[in-house]
Structure 1
Amino acid sequence: MTRPGNPNADSGPTRSAHASESTRSASTDAVDEALKTRTMDEAPVGITIADATQSDMPLIYVNAAFERMTGYSPSYAVGRNCRFLQGEGTREKPVRQMRAAIENEEPVTVELRNYRRSGELFWNEVTIAPLRDESGAVAYYVGFQQDVTRRKRAEQAASDRATRIEHERTAQARLLERLDGIVAEVTEAVALASSREELRQAVVRSIAATYSSAWIGTYDPATETVEPHASEGDVGAAIESVSVAAGDDGERSVETAVAAAMTDRRVRLEPIGPEEPAEAAAVAAVPLHFGEAVYGVLVVYAQTEEFRRHERDVLTALGRTVAIGINALESQRTLRGDSVVRFQLALASHPLGSFSEALSCSLRHTGTVGDRGERSLLFKLDGAAEVDAETIHDAAEAADVSVHSILAAETDTPVVELSFDETPLAELIREYSGELCGWEVSEGVAVATIEVGREALARSLAADALDCLSGADLRSYRRREQAHETRREFVAEVESRLTPRQRAALVRAHTSGYFAWPHETNGDEIADSMGVTRSTFHQHLRAAQRKIAAAIFER
């Protein structure tokens, strides 16, 4: 009888009568049952086996990936029908498809919404296939599960984005029926631009051709200033940056106009000041905002004060058109992975800050490992050479932090592997599709570095964090263009080749000074921290090193 859990044991093309016995042995006998079982247990996708001979088809096997994905342990899942993953959000159609395939004894692949043990909804791509016994009757059903939530969210986001762009195009068409001249010129410049810089230059050229002169500035929410980026014509004395907090107290009329326009999100008009261009009579600041995202300001100089009374609608249309162009460019670059917004949030109240303060040292984030039931972080304790293990554990308990292991304990900078319960910041990052890239912790303050692909999402995430998190402060905020191939992409590609154990062994070895000479730690110490034998640790480490070398030389 075919062994459950080995759906391929009796499959494959018919062998030639001339095939040698050694060939058959190499493809079947050489792979023992233990290796087949280990392959299923360590597979990166969820695998389940259900007993088709029982009325409710209970599960008789689930692998580790299934438990990681759903939160349900084998002791809970085995003996139950897999419908315990379903709930109110599960649509009936894919369930009917699976039921029909089982009745027809056929394989099928569906995508449906399931629930983790925590109650969290996720998209599950499920493939089920029948396994037959020696008589040809279906004895088992093997299932493969893969979490495709991120892909489904990306598809939905792309659909929503296309709908919004289509709505904006419709609104823009109505606008152009009412306005012509300068709006048409700027719209053409926006449509033809392939980058933000090209868009800025084209817009100010179009404006200056009709009015006296113009410049565009970008808003930096971390410093609350507008930084000029592109100009055309005489814009008067040089402007390095304009504080949005200046309001009506700006020293120059252009500063007053810019600050008011950014604060009120409306066009602000001001008579020209003594330090402004001599041929100009008025200046207008036009906020560039799309939805909740404020990209900056367009400053326009006019030669007559008639400009102040008759052209507010035209300026509003200009700002809207430019903002739509910037948003469209951002969307394109986000889809291609060409740009990202990176900012830092300082948190005065965080478990890492409390842990650092209790030890009177700084924490330097050096890696993240995922071979436990929860993600754990590796930190070097800078300035904690005299701190012993007992002190570290006491500080962790006081800060509500879990210490899993202490590596390189006898060196000047011990390495601590720790984890902590999910914080509101982690929930916000997940909600806005952000990525937590690292931590810097000192003097009781934890600074998180966060990356978000869309500027609108980045601004919303930063704003919500400042509103919701006590003592939060925005330290820096900048847009970063990525070149192909980026370091992050290469690292992600290499890491995709590593198993969780291989990556964990590599990170721990590197962080704890195992590769230094003389060794700052030894294989026994690292193996103990992983809960494996020294020989197993070395097997994982050598496998990881081989894969890294292969990735480098394949380039």
Structure 2
Amino acid sequence: MSSFVVTDALRETLAVFDRQRPGTPLTTTEVATELDSGRRSTFEKLDRLADGGYVATKAVGARGRVWWLPVGSAALVDQLAEAAFLTLDPDGRVRYVSEPAVELLSLPAEPLLGSTVWECIPEFDAAELVPQIDEAMVDGTTTSAELRSARLGCWLQYRLAPTESGLGLSLRDVTERMVRERRLERYELIAEAVDDGIYLVDQTGHFTMVNDAYAAMTGYDRDELLGAHVSLVADEQTVETASEYDELLRAGDRETGRIEADLVRKDGGTVRAEATFAVLTDADGQVERVGVVRDVSDRLRRERTLKRQRRELAALDSLNTVARKVTNSVIEQSTRQDVERAVCEVLAGSESYSLAWVGDVDRASGTVTPHISAPTTAATESLVSDPLSTGPIRRATHTGTLQVTTSPASITPPDGWDAHTDTGAFRSAAVIPVVHEATLYGILCVYTEREAAFSAAERDVVDGLGEVVGQAIASIERKRALMSDEVVELEFRLSNLGSLLGIEMPADGRVEIGQTIPLGGDEFLVYATANDAGVEIVEAAESALDHWESVDLLEAGPDVHHLQVRLSEPPVSAKIAAFGGSIQQVVFADDMAQFVVHTDPGTGVRPVIEVIDETFNTTELIRRRQFTRSEATGPRSDDALQRLTDRQRSVLMAAHGGGYFDQPRRQSGAEIADTMDISTATFHEHLRAAMRKLTTSAFADV
């Protein structure tokens, strides 16, 4: 036993028993709690003390064990450990002082002998020591405490314990331990103050210390983690990687290590964490790994969000470039087919999309017929299908809004594409209504191989393509109709007008609809003339039809009244004009309405008929004829009107319809400007510009 060395760590463990009555058994867990240490490391210290004969032990139950300090052995422990010690009589007088004690106290031995310990050693206070001596003599209580010696400039630990002949007072210089403990306390305060998790792991991979942040991160209580193996919160691969770093750190090949892995929580969930660790050596020479763990879930989410945003910005920049190319391409085309081909080629030739096609919509038959596609290997002759019953094409044609699908097969023809088209690579597709001024010209479908395509920003871009293409087609159709000498005239009759308006139609009522003027958006002005009974029909229409916002009487004549109607959605004349047609005459009389429509033979009459049928479900086509316009000398008035801007044309038509050029005027310039929601100055500016262009055209050859 004399060769056994009692380290500071073992003395701290023995001190736990000093605070108990000699012979009191303690479990390993109780000693670990007193030491604020892990159960495994505490067991190892107790086992070493038992091997040295300083404590006794025995097994309890299948796996338990208790430890105790034998009665009368406290002073012996100090002597065997070669500690500084004194023996005292029951009154506290010094009977013996060891040489190590003389050296430690820096006092000669002779003055100490025979004196009370509080008289000869300044560090002791009788008020504290006398009660402790009484307890030791009466109850056999061992007292252990630390005190600061300003004289010696160190910390002393003393232990007062009963012996067979009196009392034993052992002394130790515990300055290093106290400094270390206070430093550790500061470290622990810091560890608890930070948000990061901090842990200590011994050489066997068991936790010896964790802070509250680490416990919260894992979902376990601190007591559940202390003494547990790291595999409780880490998978096999992570444990193996950490062990490899541990070997490098212990060998001095690295100063720190860092890994990123999932922490396994108590509830079975995981937390993505980054651990930075190093190795520390404790007072017993035991090497432990200290780790600082940070939850990086938010950081990774931010990084993923940033990467996604960068991808989206790059894609959006590319899409804006594509949109500009589409716009520039379509305005250069002279036919509808050229417009549709240009947009398909630009889209399919971009990095964003792989396939594009344009198709006609036939609501009567419930079919869509693709007729232009790019790349051209996707032959369109096999692309006739019936997609209007369900799916995104139906939703797009019925709502007039962009539809996106992650199942491109839902807008693939029944017979599929040809062998050159790799449809398996498509991830999503969009159906874009080709619309202008509420008129549907067809659909544009685009397919992409990109993941997570058609974000909100991308949808805004591609949705605008439908309006760009629709406006280009409408302009071409309108120009072709105006320039053509061949005209198809269609005459329609609407029966049961009174039932539609919910009134008893006056027998002699008559209304003639004149010019329709777009004001922008879905606002329109319509000018009409009516007899007395016809005014009742117009007023009834205002009450029955929600989009008839107001009816104003511009002039009341003896036989004919001039009216102005404000609408909040496109009238049938505006819808027909989108296909290059024009309404020549609309008359309400005899419980009927008759329409005379002129259109270009090249446009076809089907779109016009569809517009009429969709607007009025009791309409019948009563006459159709084709004729040639009479040749006129000089430039056509239609040619001159084409030179006007949309605003100039609207102002000129409003002035004409509102009777501005009549004598006397039915409406002043200020009144017409107010109706059009523009200033009087703006009205006169546009009117003068329109008149200047018309007169220049009229007198061009004079």
More contact order relative to length (CA 8 Å, sep ≥ 6)? 1
TM-score tier (shorter): 0.3 to 0.5
**Alignment TM-score, normalising by the size of structure 1:** 0.38
**Alignment TM-score, normalising by the size of structure 2:** 0.31
